[in-house]
Structure 1
Amino acid sequence: MKHLFLALTSVLFLHIAYANDAAPLADDPVTEQRLITISEEMRCLVCQNESLAGSRSDLANDLRREIRTLIKEGKSDEQIRSFMVDRYGDFVLYRPPVKPITWLLWIGPFVILVIGIAFLFSYLRRRNTLASTKTLSPEDNQKIDALLNTLGKNDRNDSNV
């Protein structure tokens, strides 16, 4: 058992000794920083709720590679953004510009919220008007009083035991 433990720990230490540091994604750290800054402002088209910088999908890797190529070609950040918007539409941006074609993206959630609140109030009002308030007859009141008196007597008898 000791020999097995020694063999496993030596293999583990050898593996750790040969482990390499992660290779940088770009040769130039400035290029990599620009890539991260630009890709954090863009949405992954596959994940849709994750930034391009944080996504690990194949499409996100391809788009980051494309952005890295554009940076190396000397394109400005704005030129890269406009290239991505021309190719994939305003949806690729986390903060698309407010224009008639993107009004639904900007106003849609608020419209859905207002419709939901209006539906809720309408439902609650309708439910309250449909709920009937029934008044009890004198006979029903007498029956209830009799039942309560009977229950009260039973409770007193139980507490005496």
Structure 2
Amino acid sequence: MIKVPLTVVGAEKLKAELQRLKSVERPEVIQAIAEARAQGDLSENAEYEAAKEKQGFVEGRIAELEGKLSNAQIIDPKDLAGAAEGRVVFGATIALEDLEGGKQVTYQIVGDDEADLKDGKISVSSPIARALIGKYAGDVAEVVAPGGIREYEVLDVQYL
């Protein structure tokens, strides 16, 4: 099995979603199916069909989350060797400056399932994360982007 890296926070979010699906969503769907069945003829029962469809979605998501969590390698960035040295590692939060435009951004390097650019979380497999891994504050990283090569200076590295 291939281990999938997850931060501690990302693993907790997946566990919380799994718990909610099992303890809230699944019983609601079962109740909806029971109520729809009580109405009689199932051949033209839209509520029954909708409930069965939702049940399929919920069960599929539960299986997906259980699979992800069973293959997860939960990593706390504070425990990694590079953290003591101030090096960019998985889970690190990095403040960057785009050397071309001067714009400053902050990203956290996370697993593929946790990545969300709106929250400032980038996938460890993204081009920018790959370019940043191993760098220190003050280093310049060259990122091959669709628009060409971009250079970012690492301003700060934190392990939150």
If the length of structure 1 is used for normalisation, what is the TM-score?
A: 0.33
If the length of structure 2 is used for normalisation, what is the TM-score?
A: 0.33
Q: Which has the higher strand share?
A: 2
